[in-house]
Homo-oligomer: A and B are copies of this chain.
Protein backbone atom coordinates (compact mmCIF):
# COMPACT_ATOMS: atom_id res chain seq x y z
CA UNK A 1 0.00 0.00 0.00
CA UNK A 2 1.34 3.41 -0.93
CA UNK A 3 -0.26 6.83 -0.94
CA UNK A 4 0.44 10.49 -0.53
CA UNK A 5 2.17 11.97 2.52
CA UNK A 6 2.72 15.54 3.69
CA UNK A 7 5.93 16.20 5.64
CA UNK A 8 5.61 19.31 7.81
CA UNK A 9 9.00 20.40 9.10
CA UNK A 10 12.11 18.97 7.43
CA UNK A 11 14.76 18.82 10.13
CA UNK A 12 16.64 15.57 10.71
CA UNK A 13 13.47 13.69 11.64
CA UNK A 14 11.23 15.22 8.96
CA UNK A 15 13.77 14.69 6.19
CA UNK A 16 14.23 11.10 7.39
CA UNK A 17 10.48 10.50 7.18
CA UNK A 18 10.40 12.02 3.68
CA UNK A 19 13.18 9.69 2.55
CA UNK A 20 11.60 6.57 4.02
CA UNK A 21 8.14 7.29 2.57
CA UNK A 22 9.60 8.12 -0.88
CA UNK A 23 11.79 5.00 -1.03
CA UNK A 24 8.81 2.85 -0.07
CA UNK A 25 6.88 4.26 -3.00
CA UNK A 26 4.82 7.09 -1.47
CA UNK A 27 4.50 10.45 -3.15
CA UNK A 28 5.84 13.08 -0.77
CA UNK A 29 5.09 16.78 -0.37
CA UNK A 30 7.36 18.67 2.01
CA UNK A 31 6.53 21.96 3.71
CA UNK A 32 9.28 23.77 5.56
CA UNK A 33 9.79 27.52 5.18
CA UNK A 34 13.49 27.20 6.13
CA UNK A 35 15.54 28.02 2.98
CA UNK A 36 17.90 25.13 3.86
CA UNK A 37 15.12 22.55 3.90
CA UNK A 38 15.32 21.43 0.26
CA UNK A 39 19.06 20.82 0.46
CA UNK A 40 18.63 18.92 3.73
CA UNK A 41 15.93 16.67 2.29
CA UNK A 42 18.06 16.02 -0.82
CA UNK A 43 21.06 15.11 1.30
CA UNK A 44 19.10 12.78 3.63
CA UNK A 45 17.42 11.20 0.60
CA UNK A 46 20.87 10.49 -0.87
CA UNK A 47 21.96 8.81 2.35
CA UNK A 48 18.75 6.81 2.47
CA UNK A 49 19.06 5.67 -1.16
CA UNK A 50 22.52 4.41 -0.33
CA UNK A 51 21.44 2.43 2.74
CA UNK A 52 17.77 1.44 2.80
CA UNK A 53 17.09 -0.53 -0.42
CA UNK A 54 19.86 -3.03 0.32
CA UNK A 55 18.29 -3.95 3.68
CA UNK A 56 15.71 -5.87 1.70
CA UNK A 57 16.29 -9.10 -0.20
CA UNK A 58 13.60 -8.04 -2.65
CA UNK A 59 13.20 -5.03 -4.88
CA UNK A 60 11.53 -1.98 -3.29
CA UNK A 61 8.61 -0.38 -5.15
CA UNK A 62 9.47 2.45 -7.57
CA UNK A 63 10.56 5.54 -5.64
CA UNK A 64 7.86 8.17 -5.12
CA UNK A 65 8.25 11.83 -6.08
CA UNK A 66 9.43 14.32 -3.49
CA UNK A 67 8.17 17.85 -4.11
CA UNK A 68 8.39 20.97 -1.97
CA UNK A 69 5.10 22.70 -1.29
CA UNK A 70 4.92 26.47 -0.95
CA UNK A 71 2.12 26.42 1.60
CA UNK A 72 0.70 24.12 4.24
CA UNK A 73 -2.53 23.79 2.29
CA UNK A 74 -0.68 22.63 -0.83
CA UNK A 75 1.20 20.09 1.25
CA UNK A 76 -1.72 18.55 3.10
CA UNK A 77 -4.57 18.72 0.55
CA UNK A 78 -5.41 15.19 -0.45
CA UNK A 79 -2.66 13.65 1.71
CA UNK A 80 -3.41 10.29 3.36
CA UNK A 81 -0.84 10.83 6.10
CA UNK A 82 0.51 14.08 7.52
CA UNK A 83 3.74 13.82 9.51
CA UNK A 84 4.51 16.80 11.72
CA UNK A 85 8.12 17.19 12.86
CA UNK A 86 8.33 20.87 13.88
CA UNK A 87 10.23 21.99 17.01
CA UNK A 88 9.01 20.72 20.40
CA UNK A 89 6.78 23.67 21.33
CA UNK A 90 3.20 22.92 22.19
CA UNK A 91 1.83 26.28 21.01
CA UNK A 92 3.56 25.91 17.65
CA UNK A 93 2.21 22.41 17.13
CA UNK A 94 -1.35 23.32 18.14
CA UNK A 95 -1.46 26.32 15.82
CA UNK A 96 -0.13 24.16 13.00
CA UNK A 97 -2.79 21.48 13.54
CA UNK A 98 -5.57 24.08 13.30
CA UNK A 99 -4.20 25.21 9.96
CA UNK A 100 -3.74 21.62 8.78
CA UNK A 101 -7.28 20.64 9.71
CA UNK A 102 -8.66 23.48 7.57
CA UNK A 103 -7.19 21.81 4.46
CA UNK A 104 -6.65 18.12 5.20
CA UNK A 105 -9.17 15.35 4.60
CA UNK A 106 -11.27 14.46 7.65
CA UNK A 107 -9.87 10.92 7.72
CA UNK A 108 -6.24 11.81 7.04
CA UNK A 109 -4.01 10.87 9.96
CA UNK A 110 -2.01 13.72 11.47
CA UNK A 111 0.99 12.13 13.17
CA UNK A 112 3.39 14.03 15.38
CA UNK A 113 7.06 13.07 15.69
CA UNK A 114 7.12 14.52 19.21
CA UNK A 115 9.49 12.81 21.61
CA UNK A 116 7.74 14.17 24.65
CA UNK A 117 4.14 15.39 24.37
CA UNK A 118 1.09 13.16 24.76
CA UNK A 119 -1.72 13.18 22.18
CA UNK A 120 -4.03 14.74 24.77
CA UNK A 121 -1.58 17.62 25.26
CA UNK A 122 -1.30 18.03 21.49
CA UNK A 123 -5.07 18.20 20.94
CA UNK A 124 -5.54 21.26 23.11
CA UNK A 125 -8.86 22.78 22.11
CA UNK A 126 -8.59 21.50 18.54
CA UNK A 127 -11.32 19.83 16.52
CA UNK A 128 -11.33 16.18 15.33
CA UNK A 129 -8.94 15.07 18.06
CA UNK A 130 -9.19 11.50 16.86
CA UNK A 131 -7.15 12.18 13.74
CA UNK A 132 -4.11 13.37 15.74
CA UNK A 133 -1.69 10.65 16.93
CA UNK A 134 1.90 10.46 18.08
CA UNK A 135 4.25 8.52 15.78
CA UNK A 136 7.67 9.07 17.32
CA UNK A 137 10.58 7.80 15.20
CA UNK A 138 14.29 7.39 15.90
CA UNK A 139 17.24 8.74 14.01
CA UNK A 140 18.09 7.73 11.28
CA UNK A 141 14.37 7.42 10.51
CA UNK A 142 15.07 5.70 7.18
CA UNK A 143 16.92 2.81 8.86
CA UNK A 144 15.70 2.26 12.45
CA UNK A 145 12.43 0.32 12.57
CA UNK A 146 11.02 1.65 15.87
CA UNK A 147 8.15 4.12 15.93
CA UNK A 148 6.27 4.73 19.17
CA UNK A 149 2.58 4.96 18.38
CA UNK A 150 0.56 6.80 21.04
CA UNK A 151 -3.15 7.53 20.99
CA UNK A 152 -5.52 8.95 23.53
CA UNK A 153 -7.71 6.47 25.36
CA UNK A 154 -10.81 7.54 23.40
CA UNK A 155 -9.16 7.28 19.96
CA UNK A 156 -11.23 5.15 17.59
CA UNK A 157 -10.04 1.69 16.60
CA UNK A 158 -9.82 2.57 12.91
CA UNK A 159 -7.18 5.20 13.59
CA UNK A 160 -4.88 2.70 15.33
CA UNK A 161 -5.42 0.11 12.58
CA UNK A 162 -4.75 2.61 9.81
CA UNK A 163 -1.68 4.00 11.54
CA UNK A 164 -0.22 0.53 12.11
CA UNK A 165 -0.90 -0.44 8.51
CA UNK A 166 0.75 2.66 7.06
CA UNK A 167 3.80 2.43 9.33
CA UNK A 168 4.30 -1.29 8.65
CA UNK A 169 3.86 -0.57 4.95
CA UNK A 170 6.90 1.73 5.02
CA UNK A 171 8.95 -0.91 6.83
CA UNK A 172 8.62 0.39 10.39
CA UNK A 173 7.85 -1.45 13.61
CA UNK A 174 5.06 0.48 15.36
CA UNK A 175 5.05 -0.04 19.13
CA UNK A 176 1.63 0.95 20.49
CA UNK A 177 2.20 2.63 23.86
CA UNK A 178 -0.55 1.50 26.22
CA UNK A 179 -0.79 4.71 28.26
CA UNK A 180 -0.16 8.33 27.42
CA UNK A 181 2.88 9.56 29.31
CA UNK A 182 5.26 12.40 28.60
CA UNK A 183 8.39 10.99 26.94
CA UNK A 184 6.59 7.79 25.91
CA UNK A 185 8.89 4.80 26.62
CA UNK A 186 12.17 5.03 24.72
CA UNK A 187 12.89 8.67 25.50
CA UNK A 188 12.38 8.06 29.20
CA UNK A 189 15.05 5.37 29.04
CA UNK A 190 17.35 7.48 26.88
CA UNK A 191 16.91 10.50 29.10
CA UNK A 192 17.77 8.39 32.14
CA UNK A 193 21.06 7.56 30.45
CA UNK A 194 21.61 11.19 29.48
CA UNK A 195 21.14 12.42 33.03
CA UNK A 196 23.63 9.94 34.43
CA UNK A 197 26.04 10.46 31.53
CA UNK A 198 26.03 14.24 32.02
CA UNK A 199 26.72 13.79 35.73
CA UNK A 200 29.71 11.57 34.86
CA UNK A 201 31.06 14.21 32.49
CA UNK A 202 30.24 17.02 34.91
CA UNK A 203 32.02 15.24 37.77
CA UNK A 204 35.05 14.49 35.60
CA UNK A 205 34.62 10.73 36.01
CA UNK A 206 34.56 10.00 32.28
CA UNK A 207 34.76 11.74 28.92
CA UNK A 208 32.06 11.48 26.27
CA UNK A 209 34.28 9.07 24.31
CA UNK A 210 34.80 6.85 27.36
CA UNK A 211 31.06 6.76 28.01
CA UNK A 212 30.42 5.82 24.38
CA UNK A 213 33.02 3.03 24.62
CA UNK A 214 31.48 1.80 27.88
CA UNK A 215 28.20 1.39 25.99
CA UNK A 216 29.14 0.14 22.53
CA UNK A 217 31.76 -2.38 23.68
CA UNK A 218 29.39 -3.97 26.16
CA UNK A 219 25.75 -3.48 26.97
CA UNK A 220 24.93 -1.77 23.65
CA UNK A 221 25.70 -5.04 21.87
CA UNK A 222 23.19 -6.85 24.06
CA UNK A 223 20.59 -4.11 23.75
CA UNK A 224 20.80 -4.14 19.96
CA UNK A 225 19.29 -7.60 19.96
CA UNK A 226 17.61 -8.42 23.26
CA UNK A 227 16.87 -5.30 25.27
CA UNK A 228 17.51 -4.78 29.00
CA UNK A 229 15.11 -7.33 30.51
CA UNK A 230 15.91 -10.28 28.29
CA UNK A 231 19.63 -9.56 28.66
CA UNK A 232 19.27 -9.46 32.45
CA UNK A 233 17.41 -12.73 32.38
CA UNK A 234 20.48 -14.32 30.79
CA UNK A 235 23.03 -12.73 33.10
CA UNK A 236 21.89 -14.66 36.12
CA UNK A 237 22.68 -18.19 35.09
CA UNK A 238 20.04 -20.79 35.85
CA UNK A 239 18.15 -18.63 38.34
CA UNK A 240 15.42 -17.86 35.81
CA UNK A 241 12.68 -15.29 35.49
CA UNK A 242 11.71 -15.29 39.16
CA UNK A 243 15.09 -13.82 39.99
CA UNK A 244 15.19 -10.96 37.48
CA UNK A 245 14.10 -8.23 39.87
CA UNK A 246 16.16 -9.49 42.78
CA UNK A 247 19.19 -9.45 40.52
CA UNK A 248 18.53 -5.97 39.21
CA UNK A 249 17.39 -4.17 42.32
CA UNK A 250 20.38 -4.34 44.70
CA UNK A 251 22.45 -1.32 43.91
CA UNK A 252 19.68 0.72 42.31
CA UNK A 253 18.86 2.52 45.54
CA UNK A 254 22.43 2.81 46.78
CA UNK A 255 23.65 6.40 46.96
CA UNK A 256 26.00 5.79 44.00
CA UNK A 257 24.35 8.48 41.98
CA UNK A 258 22.30 11.63 42.35
CA UNK A 259 19.32 9.69 41.01
CA UNK A 260 18.14 6.95 43.29
CA UNK A 261 14.40 7.17 43.82
CA UNK A 262 13.17 3.66 43.25
CA UNK A 263 9.81 1.94 43.10
CA UNK A 264 9.56 -0.22 46.21
CA UNK A 265 10.79 -3.72 45.37
CA UNK A 266 7.67 -5.42 46.62
CA UNK A 267 6.83 -9.06 45.95
CA UNK A 268 4.04 -7.78 43.75
CA UNK A 269 6.47 -5.91 41.49
CA UNK A 270 8.80 -8.91 41.41
CA UNK A 271 5.83 -11.08 40.37
CA UNK A 272 4.82 -8.70 37.56
CA UNK A 273 8.35 -8.58 36.14
CA UNK A 274 8.78 -12.34 36.46
CA UNK A 275 5.47 -13.03 34.71
CA UNK A 276 6.19 -10.58 31.90
CA UNK A 277 9.76 -11.76 31.38
CA UNK A 278 8.55 -15.36 31.38
CA UNK A 279 5.89 -14.60 28.78
CA UNK A 280 8.53 -12.82 26.73
CA UNK A 281 10.80 -15.88 26.73
CA UNK A 282 7.86 -17.71 25.15
CA UNK A 283 8.59 -21.06 26.71
CA UNK A 284 12.18 -21.19 25.45
CA UNK A 285 14.55 -22.66 28.04
CA UNK A 286 17.30 -20.29 29.19
CA UNK A 287 19.94 -22.51 27.57
CA UNK A 288 18.28 -22.01 24.19
CA UNK A 289 18.02 -18.25 24.72
CA UNK A 290 21.72 -18.17 25.60
CA UNK A 291 22.61 -19.89 22.34
CA UNK A 292 20.36 -17.50 20.42
CA UNK A 293 21.98 -14.53 22.15
CA UNK A 294 25.45 -15.81 21.29
CA UNK A 295 24.54 -16.41 17.66
CA UNK A 296 23.12 -12.88 17.46
CA UNK A 297 26.23 -11.42 19.09
CA UNK A 298 28.57 -13.28 16.76
CA UNK A 299 26.62 -12.03 13.75
CA UNK A 300 26.52 -8.43 15.04
CA UNK A 301 30.17 -8.42 16.08
CA UNK A 302 31.27 -9.85 12.74
CA UNK A 303 29.15 -7.26 10.93
CA UNK A 304 30.94 -4.52 12.89
CA UNK A 305 34.25 -6.24 12.13
CA UNK A 306 33.47 -6.00 8.42
CA UNK A 307 32.73 -2.30 9.00
CA UNK A 308 35.94 -1.88 11.01
CA UNK A 309 34.09 0.16 13.63
CA UNK A 310 33.59 0.05 17.42
CA UNK A 311 33.76 -3.48 18.77
CA UNK A 312 34.52 -4.62 15.20
CA UNK A 313 37.63 -2.44 14.99
CA UNK A 314 38.67 -3.95 18.30
CA UNK A 315 38.23 -7.48 16.88
CA UNK A 316 40.52 -6.59 13.99
CA UNK A 317 43.13 -5.50 16.54
CA UNK A 318 42.71 -8.80 18.35
CA UNK A 319 43.34 -10.70 15.10
CA UNK A 320 46.51 -8.74 14.55
CA UNK A 321 47.83 -10.18 17.84
CA UNK A 322 47.29 -13.75 16.61
CA UNK A 323 49.76 -15.74 14.54
CA UNK A 324 49.01 -15.55 10.83
CA UNK A 325 51.07 -18.63 9.93
CA UNK A 326 54.43 -18.67 8.25
CA UNK A 327 54.66 -17.17 4.78
CA UNK A 328 56.39 -20.25 3.34
CA UNK A 329 55.93 -20.04 -0.42
CA UNK A 330 57.98 -22.95 -1.73
CA UNK A 331 55.31 -25.59 -1.19
CA UNK A 332 51.56 -25.01 -1.38
CA UNK A 333 50.93 -21.80 0.59
CA UNK A 334 48.94 -22.12 3.82
CA UNK A 335 46.79 -19.12 3.01
CA UNK A 336 43.92 -19.41 5.52
CA UNK A 337 43.68 -20.94 9.00
CA UNK A 338 40.47 -20.20 10.87
CA UNK A 339 37.28 -21.60 12.41
CA UNK A 340 33.80 -21.70 10.79
CA UNK A 341 31.84 -18.96 12.62
CA UNK A 342 28.25 -19.38 13.74
CA UNK A 343 26.98 -16.90 11.17
CA UNK A 344 28.31 -18.89 8.20
CA UNK A 345 25.73 -21.64 8.43
CA UNK A 346 22.61 -22.10 6.30
CA UNK A 347 19.31 -23.96 6.58
CA UNK A 348 21.09 -27.21 5.69
CA UNK A 349 23.18 -26.96 8.88
CA UNK A 350 26.54 -26.57 7.16
CA UNK A 351 28.76 -23.80 5.87
CA UNK A 352 26.90 -21.98 3.15
CA UNK A 353 28.13 -21.71 -0.46
CA UNK A 354 28.77 -18.01 -0.23
CA UNK A 355 31.13 -18.56 2.72
CA UNK A 356 33.15 -21.14 0.79
CA UNK A 357 33.68 -18.40 -1.73
CA UNK A 358 34.61 -16.01 1.07
CA UNK A 359 37.26 -18.40 2.37
CA UNK A 360 38.65 -18.87 -1.15
CA UNK A 361 38.56 -15.14 -1.72
CA UNK A 362 40.47 -14.63 1.57
CA UNK A 363 42.94 -17.27 0.38
CA UNK A 364 43.45 -15.39 -2.88
CA UNK A 365 43.89 -12.11 -0.96
CA UNK A 366 46.57 -13.72 1.19
CA UNK A 367 48.44 -15.20 -1.80
CA UNK A 368 48.51 -11.92 -3.71
CA UNK A 369 49.48 -10.11 -0.49
CA UNK A 370 52.49 -12.45 -0.24
CA UNK A 371 53.26 -11.54 -3.86
CA UNK A 372 53.25 -7.85 -2.91
CA UNK A 373 49.68 -6.81 -3.68
CA UNK A 374 49.01 -5.65 -0.12
CA UNK A 375 46.90 -2.81 1.28
CA UNK A 376 49.57 -0.23 0.39
CA UNK A 377 49.84 -1.53 -3.20
CA UNK A 378 46.04 -1.43 -3.59
CA UNK A 379 45.93 2.09 -2.15
CA UNK A 380 48.34 2.97 -4.98
CA UNK A 381 45.57 2.26 -7.48
CA UNK A 382 45.96 -1.33 -8.70
CA UNK A 383 44.62 -4.69 -7.63
CA UNK A 384 43.51 -8.12 -8.87
CA UNK A 385 39.95 -8.87 -10.01
CA UNK A 386 38.67 -12.45 -10.28
CA UNK A 387 37.56 -13.27 -13.82
CA UNK A 388 36.44 -16.84 -13.40
CA UNK A 389 36.30 -19.52 -10.74
CA UNK A 390 35.31 -23.13 -10.35
CA UNK A 391 34.28 -24.63 -7.00
CA UNK A 392 34.03 -28.32 -6.23
CA UNK A 393 32.25 -29.37 -3.02
CA UNK A 394 33.59 -32.67 -1.74
CA UNK A 395 32.25 -32.82 1.82
CA UNK A 396 30.51 -30.61 4.38
CA UNK A 397 32.05 -28.12 6.84
CA UNK A 398 30.18 -27.69 10.13
CA UNK A 399 30.16 -24.60 12.41
CA UNK A 400 33.16 -24.60 14.69
CA UNK A 401 35.29 -26.71 12.32
CA UNK A 402 38.94 -25.73 12.00
CA UNK A 403 39.58 -24.70 8.40
CA UNK A 404 42.75 -24.31 6.44
CA UNK A 405 43.51 -23.64 2.81
CA UNK A 406 46.53 -24.77 0.78
CA UNK A 407 47.03 -22.58 -2.26
CA UNK A 408 48.96 -23.31 -5.43
CA UNK A 409 49.97 -20.87 -8.13
CA UNK A 410 49.24 -22.74 -11.39
CA UNK A 411 50.49 -19.91 -13.59
CA UNK A 412 51.43 -16.24 -13.58
CA UNK A 413 51.77 -14.71 -17.01
CA UNK A 414 51.70 -10.97 -17.58
CA UNK A 415 48.41 -9.69 -16.17
CA UNK A 416 47.02 -13.15 -15.50
CA UNK A 417 47.24 -15.15 -12.31
CA UNK A 418 45.91 -18.70 -12.12
CA UNK A 419 45.43 -20.17 -8.61
CA UNK A 420 44.15 -23.40 -7.14
CA UNK A 421 42.95 -23.62 -3.51
CA UNK A 422 42.26 -26.77 -1.50
CA UNK A 423 40.06 -26.24 1.58
CA UNK A 424 40.35 -28.62 4.52
CA UNK A 425 37.96 -28.86 7.50
CA UNK A 426 39.39 -30.69 10.49
CA UNK A 427 42.08 -31.99 8.12
CA UNK A 428 39.66 -33.44 5.56
CA UNK A 429 39.50 -31.94 2.06
CA UNK A 430 36.00 -30.44 1.68
CA UNK A 431 36.28 -28.23 -1.39
CA UNK A 432 38.57 -26.89 -4.07
CA UNK A 433 38.55 -23.66 -6.04
CA UNK A 434 40.29 -22.83 -9.26
CA UNK A 435 40.50 -19.11 -9.94
CA UNK A 436 41.70 -16.96 -12.76
CA UNK A 437 42.55 -13.39 -11.82
CA UNK A 438 43.60 -10.41 -13.82
CA UNK A 439 45.69 -7.48 -12.60
CA UNK A 440 43.76 -4.22 -13.09
CA UNK A 441 44.11 -0.49 -12.73
CA UNK A 442 41.54 0.68 -10.18
CA UNK A 443 41.28 3.93 -12.12
CA UNK A 444 40.43 2.56 -15.59
CA UNK A 445 38.94 -0.67 -14.13
CA UNK A 446 40.74 -2.39 -17.04
CA UNK A 447 43.50 -5.00 -17.22
CA UNK A 448 46.94 -3.48 -16.68
CA UNK A 449 50.51 -4.73 -16.23
CA UNK A 450 51.50 -5.41 -12.60
CA UNK A 451 54.26 -3.35 -10.99
CA UNK A 452 57.80 -4.69 -11.48
CA UNK A 453 58.29 -6.02 -7.94
CA UNK A 454 54.87 -7.68 -7.96
CA UNK A 455 55.60 -9.24 -11.39
CA UNK A 456 58.92 -10.54 -10.08
CA UNK A 457 57.31 -12.15 -7.01
CA UNK A 458 54.46 -13.63 -9.10
CA UNK A 459 56.99 -15.27 -11.42
CA UNK A 460 59.11 -16.48 -8.51
CA UNK A 461 56.17 -18.20 -6.80
CA UNK A 462 54.84 -19.61 -10.10
CA UNK A 463 58.30 -21.11 -10.78
CA UNK A 464 58.51 -22.62 -7.29
CA UNK A 465 55.04 -24.17 -7.66
CA UNK A 466 55.58 -25.42 -11.24
CA UNK A 467 57.47 -28.38 -9.81
CA UNK A 468 54.59 -29.41 -7.49
CA UNK A 469 52.03 -32.06 -8.52
CA UNK A 470 48.74 -30.74 -10.01
CA UNK A 471 45.83 -31.65 -7.71
CA UNK A 472 42.70 -33.48 -8.92
CA UNK A 473 40.08 -31.10 -10.26
CA UNK A 474 42.28 -28.64 -12.13
CA UNK A 475 40.70 -27.61 -15.43
CA UNK A 476 37.31 -29.24 -14.77
CA UNK A 477 34.04 -27.97 -16.16
CA UNK A 478 30.74 -28.42 -14.34
CA UNK A 479 29.24 -31.90 -14.70
CA UNK A 480 32.31 -33.40 -16.37
CA UNK A 481 32.72 -37.05 -15.45
CA UNK A 482 35.12 -37.67 -12.51
CA UNK A 483 38.64 -38.77 -13.41
Contact = CB atoms under 8 A, between A and B. Distances in A.
A219 B220 CA distance: 9
B55 A341 contact: yes
A356 B387 CA distance: 12
A146 B47 contact: no
A353 interface: yes
Contacts of A209: 229, 276, 279-280
B385 A393 contact: yes
A261 B258 contact: yes
Contacts of A65: none
Given A177-B205, A182-B256, A213-B175, A144 B222 contact: yes
B393 A391 contact: no
Contacts of A251: 88, 115-116, 183, 187, 191
Interface string A313-346: 0110011011111000000000001111111100
Q: How many copies does the complex hold?
A: 2
B139 A235 contact: yes
A191 B219 CA distance: 12
Interface string A14-25: 000000000000
A280 to B, nearest CB: 4
Contact of A390 (B148, B301, B390, B399): B390
Nearest to A259: B259
A167 to B, nearest CB: 11
A258 B59 CA distance: 47
Contacts of A360: 353
A199 B353 contact: no
A463 interface: no
Contacts of A201: 269, 272-273, 276
A223 to B, nearest CB: 4
B196 A192 contact: yes
Interface string A29-73: 000000000001001000101110111111111000000000000
Contact of A191 (B171, B257, B303): B257
B276 A340 contact: no
Interface centre among A11, A55, A201, A360 (most CB of B within 10 A): A55
A207 B276 contact: yes
Determine the interface band of chain A, counting residues with CB < 8 A from chain B.
Answer: 35 or more
Nearest to A136: B218
A299 interface: yes
A471 interface: no
A229 B43 CA distance: 23
Nearest to A235: B139
A200 B17 CA distance: 28
A383 interface: yes
A375 to B, nearest CB: 8
A259 B195 contact: yes
A438 to B, nearest CB: 9
Contact of A400 (B54, B179, B435): B54
A310 B230 CA distance: 12
A334 to B, nearest CB: 10
B306 A343 contact: yes
A341 B50 CA distance: 8
A254 interface: yes
B475 A478 contact: yes
Nearest to A244: B208
Given A54-B339, A321-B168, A343-B307, A393 B386 contact: yes
A181 B256 CA distance: 8
A188 B200 contact: yes
Contact of A47 (B187, B235, B291, B390): B291
A438 B92 CA distance: 66
Contact of A310 (B58, B138, B225): B225
A280 B206 CA distance: 13
Interface string A216-228: 1111111111111
Given A146-B217, A477-B480, 18 more contacts: A50-B291, A54-B339, A59-B338, A138-B219, A171-B315, A178-B204, A188-B196, A188-B200, A192-B196, A198-B249, A198-B263, A207-B279, A209-B229, A211-B227, A302-B303, A396-B445, A434-B478, A436-B479
